[in-house]
Amino acid sequence: MDILIVEDEPEIARLLQMTLETEGFSCHICRDGLVALRAFQEQQPDLIVLDLMLPSLDGLEVCARIRQKSGLKDPYILMLTAKGEEIDRVIGLSTGADDYLVKPFSPRELVARVRALLRRSLRQGGQQQIYRTQHFIVDVEQHSASRQLDPTSAEILDLTTLEFNLLTTFISNPGRVWNRTQLIDKLWGSDFFGDERVVDTHVARLRKKIELDPANPAFIKTIVGVGYKFEDPTV
């Protein structure tokens, strides 16, 4: 597994590299936000450890730009910062980070977070490969999803890996109400370390891509005080 470390403090960058390489990961270090974007495009890492405060371009902007790039590997992003205020965690997750680690941290916690992120995948054991509803087709094997525009045309949806897995979870269980804990266990596994509100962030991002009016969703409904459910007649 390839990891891109984006950290401008040399001592912390070396600690991150030594800790992760000891665990068998291949690491590359960048100390600048703009350089990190170029390295991401060239190297296509599996995971990025991304510091919030960086020269040239801060971590939030780097994270947002990476999530906007289609056609490239969609890496997991572990946001790293010395700040511990709740607002910083919320902002970091809203830009597309998958988890958030506050300095100072222990090497053991870092490794645990990284391994937990890299284990995140949709548990597909025994499920069918293609799901069809009135407005959507999801092909699990081909990792593709499309939205029916009219009876004769469809639009391919440009989804990140996590968004695709979230849509597949919803569409494979139409009408089921999911709470945050259940979605975290389904998508990320029981060793998830992050804030449960990351679920809300990814649901909002998915809605922007599949709903005609994300503010008034027709497909992914919010069940107040409980969670979410997907509604669309099967065909």
The pTM assigned to this predicted structure is 0.58
Last residue of a domain, one of 118, 149, 182: 118
> What CATH number should be reported for the domain holding residue 193?
1.10.10.10
Examine the domain organization and report whether 65 and 14 are in the same domain.
yes
Q: Beta strands 2-6 and 26-30: pairing type?
A: parallel
d(CA 80, CA 52): 6
Asked whether residue 124 is assigned to any structural domain, the reply reads no
CA distances 7 to 34, 37, 176, 201, Å, are 12, 13, 42, 25
Cis before residue 104, ω within 30 degrees of 0?
yes
Q: Is the pLDDT of residue 122 over 60?
A: no
Q: Is the pLDDT of residue 127 over 60?
A: no
* pLDDT average, residue stretch 138-158: 85
With contact defined as beta carbons under 8 Å apart, do 70 and 79 qualify? Answer: no
Read off the pLDDT band of 123 (50, 70, 90).
very low
Examine the domain organization and report whether 182 and 211 are in the same domain.
yes
Least confident of 129-133, 151-155, 217-221: 151-155
Last residue of a domain, one of 118, 153, 180: 118
- Domain of 145 in residue numbering reads as 130-230
Asked whether residue 125 is assigned to any structural domain, the reply reads no
Examine the domain organization and report whether 114 and 137 are in the same domain.
no
Examine the domain organization and report whether 173 and 135 are in the same domain.
yes
> What CATH number should be reported for the domain holding residue 52?
3.40.50.2300
Last residue of a domain, one of 118, 151, 168: 118
Examine the domain organization and report whether 70 and 30 are in the same domain.
yes
Examine the domain organization and report whether 53 and 88 are in the same domain.
yes
d(CA 94, CA 37): 19
Examine the domain organization and report whether 71 and 91 are in the same domain.
yes
Examine the domain organization and report whether 50 and 107 are in the same domain.
yes
With contact defined as beta carbons under 8 Å apart, do 192 and 202 qualify? Answer: no
- Per-residue pLDDT of 32-88, as tens digits, reads 999 999 999 998 898 999 999 899 999 999 998 998 876 567 788 999 887 665 556
Q: Is the pLDDT of residue 94 over 80?
A: no
- Token pair belonging to 83: 């700040």
Q: Is the pLDDT of residue 121 over 80?
A: no
Read off the pLDDT band of 235 (50, 70, 90).
low
Domain count, the chain: 2
Q: What is the pLDDT of residue 209?
A: 95
Which contacts (CB < 8 Å, 24+ apart) does range 158-165 have?
158/70, 158/209, 159/206, 159/209, 160/67, 160/74, 160/205, 161/74, 162/74, 162/98, 162/120, 162/187, 162/202, 163/202, 163/205, 163/206, 163/209, 164/138, 165/121, 165/122
Asked whether residue 123 is assigned to any structural domain, the reply reads no
Q: Using CA atoms of 92, 121, 40, 204 in order, give the dihedral in degrees to the nearest 10.
A: -40
Examine the domain organization and report whether 12 and 114 are in the same domain.
yes
Asked whether residue 235 is assigned to any structural domain, the reply reads no
> Would you tell me the crossing angle of helices 10-22 and 107-118 to the nearest 10 degrees?
60
Examine the domain organization and report whether 113 and 137 are in the same domain.
no
